[in-house]
Homo-oligomer: A and B are copies of this chain.
């Protein structure tokens, strides 16, 4: 349920509502737009006991009809901005994340960090626990890798995003990273979603290999109902009949998600297309679709990469792409002012 305040509602009136919410044993989330909207979190019956409409400054209350509630834009009409130190995701700027598929060693991740940073990235990606189709494929350096990526990110004043594959290693991954990535194969691993929800840490929830928009939003709800409002979505392509690309990057998911949820959305063109040469144009198009950020795979020597070499950009290609991305960022600022 949400409580929509009148346009003229005072600070005091809002505080009054919030304190009533607390008294009722519920929690609240504030969205500051033209109208302040107070979202109610907790037991439905407790919500219904109070006649909220009678409180001063309240315009109306509204049930959220969708199966996902706290994740929906109705619950929080304004964009949610995730803050990680001085980094803000979802505030209208473009957050750039880059790094290798797998962390292969300290030197490699250090070099990746340097390249990533020079191109303008503020978040370093890299996998230490790798979900691989075959049990015989390289499964990641695990804690050793986590230490390396932390060291590299710190050296270049970057944040770390890395995948957590199971609850057993959650504490370990959380210790070394700033953003917990939930991989596509785990989008509906509900127990893991609840576990990362409990950490309160920023979570990047990748779209499932054939996840629907609706399932994706409901998956986020598993995180958010644990009190964790630091969720970002990552569109990484969906599985279709087309084999010309690794997946089909669904950029229309960006504007569609923007209408349905208040959380930021990041585009991953690397997994989206899986072909090095096609990554830059899709990164550019991703920015143009309205994404809050990009996440791309880079490698100092893609041809020697232990995984995903075919879709990794080398330094030159990445630097070139980033010039285009920056031009696009400026264009989008202009576009966002058209009305």
Query: How many angstroms between the C-alpha atoms of A278 and B289 in the bound complex?
Result: 10
Chain B residues near A335: list those with CB within 8 A: 284, 324, 327-328
Query: Which of A50-58, A172-180, A247-255, A297-305 touches B?
Result: A247-255
| 15 A–B pairs (Cβ distance < 8 Å), ordered by A | A67-B134, A67-B136, A69-B136, A165-B190, A166-B189, A167-B167, A212-B244, A238-B248, A241-B241, A242-B250, A245-B256, A284-B335, A287-B288, A323-B338, A328-B335
The residue of chain B having its C-beta at the shortest distance from the C-beta of A286 within the complex is B285
Chain B residue nearest to A290 (CB atoms) is: B281
Question: A111: shortest Cβ distance to chain B, in Å?
Answer: 24
Q: Contacts A277-B259, A284-B288; is A243 near B243 (CB within 8 Å)?
A: yes
Instruction: Give min CB distance, A38 to chain B, whole Å.
Output: 20
**Bound CA–CA A27/B58 (angstroms):** 64
Q: Which residues of B contact A252 (CB under 8 A)?
A: 245, 248-249, 272-273, 278, 282
Q: 1/0 per position for A154-196, CB-CB distance to B under 8 A? A: 0000000000011110000000000000000110111110000
Whole-angstrom distance between the Cβ of A241 and the nearest chain B Cβ: 5
A148 at interface (Cβ–Cβ under 8 A)? no
The count of identical subunits is 4
Contact bitstring A306-328, B, C-beta under 8 A = 1, else 0 = 00000000000000100110011
- Expressed in whole angstroms, the Cα–Cα distance for A168 and B252 within the complex equals 38
Mark contacts of A188-210 with chain B using CB atoms, 8 A cut-off: 1 yes-contact digit, 0 otherwise.
Answer: 11111000000000000000111
**A321 (CB) vs chain B CBs: closest residue:** B338
A214→B250 CA distance, assembly (Å) = 20
Q: Is A151's beta carbon under 8 Å from chain B? A: no
Return A198 CB to nearest CB of chain B, in Å.
13
**Chain A 252-287, CB within 8 Å of chain B: the 1/0 string?**
111110010000000000001101011001101111
A133: interface (CB < 8 Å): yes
Choice from B132, B165, B185, B240 contacting A241 with Cβ under 8 Å: B240
Q: Which B residues lie within 8 Å of A147 (CB)?
A: none
- A338 and B327 within 8 A (CB): yes
Question: Quick one: closest B residue to A187, CB to CB?
Answer: B185
A221 in contact (CB, < 8 A): yes
Q: Please give me the residue from chain B that is nearest to A260 by CB atom.
A: B244
**Distance A186 CA – B185 CA, assembled complex (angstroms):** 8
Across-interface contacts of A222 in B (CB, < 8 A): 135
Minimum distance in angstroms from A28 CB to a CB of chain B: 19
Given A189-B186, A256-B278, A327-B338, the answer on whether A242 and B238 have CB atoms closer than 8 Å is: yes
CB atoms of A212 and B241 under 8 A apart? yes
Extra A-B contacts (9), CB below 8 Å, given A133-B214, A285-B285? A131-B190, A132-B190, A166-B167, A210-B210, A252-B282, A254-B281, A255-B278, A256-B278, A259-B278
